[in-house]
Each structure stands twice: as structure tokens, then as C-alpha cells.
């Protein structure tokens, strides 16, 4: 009797017609074989073995350098289930569109079957997936990003308890590129791309879109959030989860070297991109990181912005679309050293300044999480870590203060639902445009976002020790366009204020949008910042916020009657508070 997994592999093989089928066990030896094959085929090149041992550079097809949101679909039976913020196609149409692309796509090629666990190996919160792919680069990356191999296969056994994902490069043709999700049958089909989020199906496709669907029906949360632990001088660690849109500094925050380390405040990393959160028996919200590696944006990463990841990247890492020096060391804009003579750019050409960036703005590193010096002793804990604070944030040059706290859970959900940010290079499309990105989940929510807000609202009252909800903005600029806040390691000052709020120690001012720190309640010793800059960072301008509130109302209108009443109430209450304070200010 064959197992559900064997049946699906066979069915996929009938469709894609590979010459060989290889089941991956995740071993060191097997990985060596993949890497050697990739080196032999010229898909990877080896970096300097003395300064970057076992590190490789991959150059992706130039039409395939970021997540392709325009061809990412949620394929539910009804369009309403996918909602107005997702691309939708019926499951029948989606399959009819992609099946011909998959047909014979692996002819002359090898099909790899990669079973993986999302989450710590023995955690009740972990989930299982299997990716079928004809890309060894994907297999090698999945081995870093998930617990891939034998243990997953054993856990799946003869059950059907796994999320199948079928991936084929199919010529890496942008005209024949689709990332299809079938949440009702928990299935993923991805064709035409070898890029991270499109091709490493355990990441955005499963751990956010499909898991989000599962989480709603099973009563937990799958979120686009980093997880960090903030240690205080007594040694107590408080865990926080933070949602920022892609390429807004989640990785840097999660791996931050605190400027208050000498005072006993230290940051530990649990995860940098995704949090799965369950209500535990002790009434806390417990988070695990479903991933096992970091797939981070390289440009701008340096010894100041993220020394921990810089240390992690010195061995056993895969770099994608970065530049390379004649000494075979990776280089990117903002790495902290001038471009070396003879630099080769991400396209494999000799670089000169007139050619634009040498590393692609969305070039990436893929590195095991355990290699970071900041990794938390609990990052792999099957029980997860208890979350005391949820942080929303975005890139807003104007408007949002450095930090504010929501009044309660319902208001906090509203704060998350009204998040917006200026776009980055993580997805194809214009950069720097303000887009509404609730909970940083706009591209990752696998069902109707109005129902997702409803799920958030329903979760709060079930959590006995519910986290406080905050909003941060590291990116506010002054009238001359200069950042007001130094960011990076200094951000611990904001985390410390949150910790003090959790412990009932720090003061805050009531404003129409929420509770903003009094200037005195922030720990600013050792930081040179003018009082004017501080006031500007904490300023809430009711007129600007009223305009913002109109924009959010317009966004919410998309959801029609499906928008939860509580969100509408919060929206109206905010508008009233803002109107009152604009009148008062006149």
C-alpha cells in the first residue's frame, strides 16, 4: 500500500515527467552533493574558502529577483474567501492555467522530494511540509531555512498530515510564472521562478498564507513577525514579536546589539521573519519561529547595522545576487567598505559606478539561524517563548511618532489594521510609494483580510495574559529629509520603554492615536539628540492624522460589510478624537 506522500510524488512525476526522482534526507553528505552539482553546473560559485568557508554565490536569472505579487494567487472556491486584497482565481482555472506549464517540465531533469518541518523538531506547534522541486538551489536553501530531511519524513510516515508544494523552474519565464495557493486543500503550485519567496515554498507560501488559513480554523496565529527576547539587568527575558513590511529592518531589530548592554539590556534573537503563536495552557501567547534560517536583504547590512548577521555570514551561507570582489568575497552597497577594484556586479559583469548598484537592491543571504551570536537559547524550544508585546511598524517619513501604545487589544488590532509603509525592493514594483499593509500581511494573508481582522479580534479575549500592542516608526524625517532617529542598536531604548510600560514603570501621554512616551520616560543617556528632534519624533499632528484616517477609511471600504464592526467603531472613535483635538488646537 502506498502512502499519501508516495501517491502525490507519483502523481507529480506523471505530470512533470522527470528523468530521476531523488528523496532528500537532509544529511551533510547529501548537501555536499547538491552543492557540488550546483558548482559544476555554474549555478553557484564558491567564495573565498579561507575567509568565507563553505559560502557560495548564486546569480539568479535577471528577470527573477524579487517576489512576484502580481502572479501570486489565492485559489479558493469563491472570490469572497480570498477577499479584495488578494489576486484570486478559482482552483479549476488555476490548475488549468498551470498544469500545461508543469506538464513535462522536468523532462531531462531530476525531481527532488524535500520533506521539512516548520518549527522545532518536537514541538506540538510545528507543522510538516514537502516540497517537490527541480532546483537544487531550492533544495540547498530549504535545508537552511527549514528542518529538512529524515526527521520530517519520519513524522509524516503514512499520514496525509503535510502540506504538499510542487515547484518547477519551467524555464524561469516571467510570462509563465505563477505562485498558486489552494488553501482549501492546503496545496501550493509554483512555476517559473527560482527566487526565494516564490520558490522556497516553506516560507511565505506555507508558513504565512497556508498556515494563516490553518491558524484561523485551529485558533492560533501565523504572522509576518520577528521574535526577540529583551533581557533586563536582573536576567529576566521579556519576549516581543514585531511585524514590519518587507525590508523595513525586521532582521536588524531581531539581531540588534543593544547600546544599553552595559546597563544590562541585551537582545536575543528567536526569529527574524515569521512567528507562529498559540495560546498555551498557562494563558500566555507562545511563539515559535517556524524557520531555521535567515533569508535577509544584504544591501545596508554592515558591522554597525547588524554585526551579528555579519558574523553569521562568515561561513556556511548562500549569497544571491550580491557583487563579488576579485578576492572572492561578497560585497554590497552599504557593507561599510568602499567597492574594491575589479568588482563583479550581480549580473556577473565588471562593475563601474555608472552601472548602478553592484549588488541587486533585493540581493539576499541565506544562513542558518544558529550561526548568529545573538541566537536565543530558547529559539529551538518546543514550548516556544511567551510573548509580552506585539509591535507593529512601518516606514513613514512623516506622521507616525517613534512609538505609541494602544489602549487595549481591540484598539491594538485597529493599529495593526491601519499600518502603512513606503514600499521597498523586496517585491517587484515602484519603491517608496505609501501602501496600506495591515499587520505587514498584505502580500501574505491567505484569505479575506476582513476575516483576518476578525480572527485577530477574536483571539485577544481568549488570551489570559494578552500582550500589549505598540506601534513604532524608526523612519521619521525632519523638514530637510534627514532621519530624526538613529535606529539600529539605539532602538533598544524604545524596546526598554515598552518593557517599562509592561512592568508599569514608564509614563505616557494620552493622544488621539494612543499613548506616547513622555520625553523623560525614554532612556536617552549616551545619545545626543536635541530636544527639538525628540519633540518632533514624539509629535502627533491631529490634522495629518485626520487625513490618514480618511485614507484608512477608504481602504476599509474595500471590505464592505465583511469588515468587523469593532474596526469600524475604532475608526469612528479615532476620527472623533482627532476632530476634537484639531478644534482644540485652533
Residue nearest to Mn ion (CB): 273
User: In this complex, which beta carbon is closest to ligand OXD, that of residue 442 or of residue 566?
Assistant: 442
Answer with the entry of ligand OXD, Mn ion, none that 197 interacts with (C-beta below 5 to 8 A by kind): ligand OXD
Give the binding range for Mn ion (CB under 5 A) out of 271-279, 363-371, 523-531, 536-544.
271-279
> Considering the complex, what minimum distance in angstroms separates the CB of residue 224 from ligand OXD?
7
Asked if residue 284 binds ligand OXD (CB under 6 A), the reply is no
Q: Which three cell numbers stand for residue 25?
A: 534526507
In the Cβ-directed half-sphere of 293, how many Cα atoms lie within 13 Å? 25
Q: Where are the beta strands (DSSP E) in 313-415?
A: 318-320, 323-324, 330-331, 364-368, 385-393, 403-405
Residue 506 interacting partner from ligand OXD, Mn ion, none (CB closer than 5 to 8 Å by kind): none
Alpha helices (H) in 255-345, listed in sequence order = 307-312
Pick the closer one to Mn ion by CB: 101 or 297: 297
How far apart CA 24 and CA 9 sit, in angstroms, is 13
250 in Cβ contact with 444 (< 8 Å)? no
DSSP states of 515-537: EEE-GGGS--TT----HHHHHHH
577 contact choice in Mn ion, ligand OXD, none (CB below 5 to 8 Å, kind-dependent):
none
Spatial distance between the Cα atoms of 289 and 370, rounded to a whole number of angstroms:
12
On whether the CB atoms of residues 445 and 86 are closer than 8 A, the answer is: yes
428-432: list long-range contacts, CB under 8 Å, 24+ apart.
428/65, 428/66, 428/67, 428/68, 428/69, 428/70, 429/69, 429/70, 431/361
* Nearer residue to ligand OXD within complex by CB, 195 or 559: 195
- Name which of 31 and 146 has its Cβ closer to Mn ion: 146
Q: If we measure between CA atoms, which residue out of 58, 14, 509, 33 comes closest to residue 295?
A: 58
Site size toward Mn ion, by CB under 5 A? 2
Binding test (CB under 6 A) with ligand OXD, winner from 115, 197, 249, 512: 197
Q: Is residue 291 within the footprint of ligand OXD (CB under 6 A)?
A: no
Residues 6 or more apart whose CB falls under 8 angstroms from that of 113 comprise: 9, 21, 22, 23, 24, 130, 131, 132
Q: Mask: binding to ligand OXD, 391-430, rule CB under 6 A, as x and -? A: -----------------------------------x----
248 a catalytic residue: yes
CB of residue 491 vs ligand OXD: minimum separation in angstroms? 19
User: Rounded to the nearest whole angstrom, what is the least distance from the CB of residue 67 to ligand OXD in the complex?
Assistant: 5
Number of Cα atoms under 13 Å in the Cβ half of residue 540: 22
Length of the chain counted residue by residue: 586
Q: Least distance from C-beta 584 to Mn ion, angstroms? A: 40
Kindly identify the residues of this chain, within the stretch 141-180, that bind Mn ion according to CB under 5 A.
none
Tell me which of 55, 75, 205, 248 is the catalytic residue: 248
Min. distance of Cβ 444 from ligand OXD in angstroms?
Answer: 8
Residue whose CB is less far from ligand OXD, 248 or 472: 248
Q: Give the gyration radius of the chain's Cα atoms.
A: 23
Q: How far is the CB of 224 from Mn ion (least distance, A)?
A: 6
By CB under 6 A, the count of residues binding ligand OXD is: 7
Residue 249 is a binding residue for ligand OXD (CB under 6 A) = no
Cell of 170: 519551467
Q: Verify binding: residue 223, Mn ion, rule CB under 5 A.
A: no
Shortest approach of ligand OXD to residue 416 CB, angstroms?
16
* Minimum separation from the CB atom of position 344 to ligand OXD (A): 24
Please report whether residue 67 would count as binding ligand OXD according to CB under 6 A.
Answer: yes
Nearer to ligand OXD among residue 102 and residue 441 (C-beta) = 441
Nearer CB in complex with ligand OXD: 123/421: 421
Euclidean distance between CA atoms 420 and 425, whole angstroms:
16
The three three-digit cell numbers of residue 140, written as one number: 540547498
Distance CA(17)–CA(111), nearest Å, equals: 9
Nearest to 309 by CA among 253, 358, 246, 393: 253
According to the binding rule CB under 5 A, does residue 273 interact with Mn ion? yes
Q: Which does 67 bind (CB under 5 to 8 A by kind): Mn ion, ligand OXD, none?
A: ligand OXD
345 part of the interface to Mn ion, by CB under 5 A: no
Which of 455, 416, 457 is CA-nearest to residue 437? 416
Could you tell which of Mn ion, ligand OXD, none binds residue 275, using a CB distance below 5 to 8 A set by kind? none
The residues that bridge with 296 in the sheet, in sequence order, are: 365
Residue showing the smallest CB distance to ligand OXD in the complex: 246
Element (H, E) at 91: helix 91-102
Position 273 contacts ligand OXD (CB under 6 A): yes
- State the binding partner of 371 from Mn ion, ligand OXD, none, CB within 5 to 8 A by kind: none
Supply the minimum distance, in Å, between the C-beta of residue 426 and ligand OXD. 4
Query: Closest CB to ligand OXD among 274 and 323?
Result: 274
Nearer Cβ to ligand OXD, position 291 or 570? 291
Residues 6+ apart with CB under 8 A from 259: 489, 490, 492, 493, 526, 527
Closest CA to 266 of 303, 233, 224: 233
By CB under 5 A, which span of 273-281, 292-300, 389-397, 467-475 interacts with Mn ion? 273-281
Binding test (CB under 6 A) with ligand OXD, winner from 76, 123, 246, 372 = 246
Residue 365's closest CA among 58, 147, 148?
58
Closest approach of Cβ 287 to ligand OXD, in Å? 17
Of 406 and 424, CB closest to ligand OXD: 424
Site residues (CB under 5 A) for Mn ion, limited to 229-258: 246
Q: How far apart are CA 225 and CA 241, in angstroms?
A: 6
Contact, 249 vs 474, CB < 8 A? yes
List active site positions.
Answer: 248
Q: Where on the chain is the footprint of Mn ion (CB under 5 A)? A: 246, 273
Q: Where on the chain is the footprint of ligand OXD (CB under 6 A)? A: 67, 196-197, 246, 273, 295, 426
Amino acid at each position: 500500500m502506498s502512502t499519501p506522500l508516495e501517491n502525490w510524488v507519483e502523481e507529480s512525476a506523471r505530470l512533470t515527467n522527470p528523468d530521476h526522482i531523488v528523496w532528500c534526507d537532509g544529511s551533510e553528505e547529501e548537501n555536499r552533493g547538491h552543492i557540488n552539482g550546483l558548482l559544476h553546473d555554474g549555478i553557484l560559485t564558491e567564495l573565498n574558502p579561507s575567509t568565507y568557508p563553505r559560502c557560495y554565490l548564486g546569480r539568479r536569472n535577471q528577470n527573477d529577483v524579487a517576489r512576484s505579487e502580481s502572479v501570486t494567487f489565492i485559489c479558493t472556491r469563491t472570490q469572497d474567501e480570498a477577499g479584495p486584497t488578494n489576486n484570486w482565481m478559482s482552483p479549476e482555472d488555476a490548475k488549468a492555467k498551470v498544469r500545461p506549464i508543469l506538464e513535462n517540465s522536468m523532462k531531462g531533469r531530476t525531481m527532488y522530494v524535500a520533506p521539512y518541518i516548520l518549527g522545532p523538531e518536537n514541538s506540538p506547534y510545528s507543522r510538516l511540509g514537502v516540497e517537490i522541486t527541480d532546483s537544487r538551489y531550492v533544495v540547498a536553501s530549504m535545508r537552511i531555512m527549514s528542518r529538512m530531511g529524515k526527521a520530517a519524513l519520519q513524522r509524516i510516515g503514512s499520514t496525509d498530515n503535510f502540506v504538499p508544494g510542487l515547484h518547477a523552474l519551467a524555464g524561469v519565464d516571467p510570462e509563465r510564472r505563477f505562485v498558486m495557493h489552494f488553501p482549501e486543500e492546503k496545496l501550493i503550485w509554483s512555476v517559473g521562478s527560482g527566487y526565494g519567496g516564490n520558490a522556497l515554498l516553506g516560507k511565505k507560501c506555507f508558513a504565512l498564507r497556508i498556515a494563516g488559513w490553518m491558524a484561523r480554523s485551529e485558533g492560533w496565529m501565523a504572522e509576518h513577525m520577528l521574535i526577540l527576547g529583551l533581557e533586563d539587568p536582573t536576567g529576566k527575558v521579556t519576549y516581543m514579536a514585531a511585524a514590519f513590511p518587507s525590508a523595513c529592518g525586521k532582521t536588524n531589530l531581531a539581531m540588534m546589539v543593544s547600546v544599553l548592554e552595559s546597563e544590562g539590556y541585551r537582545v536575543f534573537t528567536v526569529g527574524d521573519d515569521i512567528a507562529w503563536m498559540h495560546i498555551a495552557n498557562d494563558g500566555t501567547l507562545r511563539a515559535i519561529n517556524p524557520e531555521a534560517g535567515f533569508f535577509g536583504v544584504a544591501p545596508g547590512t554592515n558591522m554597525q547595522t547588524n554585526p551579528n548577521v555579519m558574523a553569521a555570514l562568515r561561513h556556511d551561507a548562500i549569497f544571491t545576487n550580491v557583487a563579488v570582489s576579485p578576492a572572492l568575497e561578497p560585497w554590497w552597497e552599504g557593507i561599510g567598505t568602499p567597492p574594491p577594484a575589479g568588482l563583479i556586479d550581480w549580473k556577473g559583469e565588471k562593475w563601474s559606478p555608472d552601472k548602478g548598484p553592484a549588488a541587486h537592491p533585493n540581493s539576499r543571504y541565506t544562513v542558518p539561524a544558529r550561526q548568529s551570536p545573538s541566537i536565543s537559547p530558547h529559539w529551538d524550544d518546543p514550548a516556544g517563548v511567551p510573548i509580552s508585546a506585539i509591535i507593529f511598524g512601518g516606514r513613514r517619513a512623516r506622521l507616525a511618532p517613534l512609538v505609541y501604545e494602544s489602549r487595549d487589544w481591540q484598539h491594538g488590532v485597529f493599529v495593526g489594521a491601519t499600518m502603512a509603509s513606503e514600499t521597498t525592493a523586496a517585491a517587484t514594483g515602484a519603491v517608496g510609494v505609501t501602501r496600506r499593509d495591515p499587520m505587514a500581511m498584505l502580500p501574505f494573508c491567505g484569505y479575506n483580510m476582513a476575516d483576518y481582522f476578525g480572527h485577530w479580534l477574536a483571539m485577544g479575549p481568549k488570551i489570559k495574559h494578552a500582550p500589549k500592542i505598540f506601534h513604532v516608526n524608526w523612519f521619521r524625517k525632519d523638514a530637510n529629509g534627514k532621519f530624526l532617529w538613529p535606529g539600529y542598536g539605539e532602538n533598544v531604548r524604545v524596546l526598554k520603554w515598552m518593557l517599562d510600560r509592561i512592568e508599569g514603570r514608564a509614563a505616557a501621554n494620552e493622544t488621539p492615536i494612543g499613548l506616547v512616551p513622555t520625553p523623560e520616560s525614554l532612556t536617552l543617556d549616551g545619545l545626543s539628540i536635541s530636544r527639538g528632534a525628540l519633540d518632533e519624533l514624539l509629535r502627533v499632528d491631529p490634522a495629518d492624522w485626520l487625513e490618514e484616517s480618511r485614507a484608512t477609511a477608504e481602504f476599509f471600504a474595500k471590505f464592505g460589510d465583511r469588515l468587523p464592526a469593532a474596526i469600524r467603531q475604532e475608526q469612528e472613535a479615532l476620527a472623533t478624537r482627532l476632530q476634537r483635538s484639531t478644534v482644540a488646537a485652533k
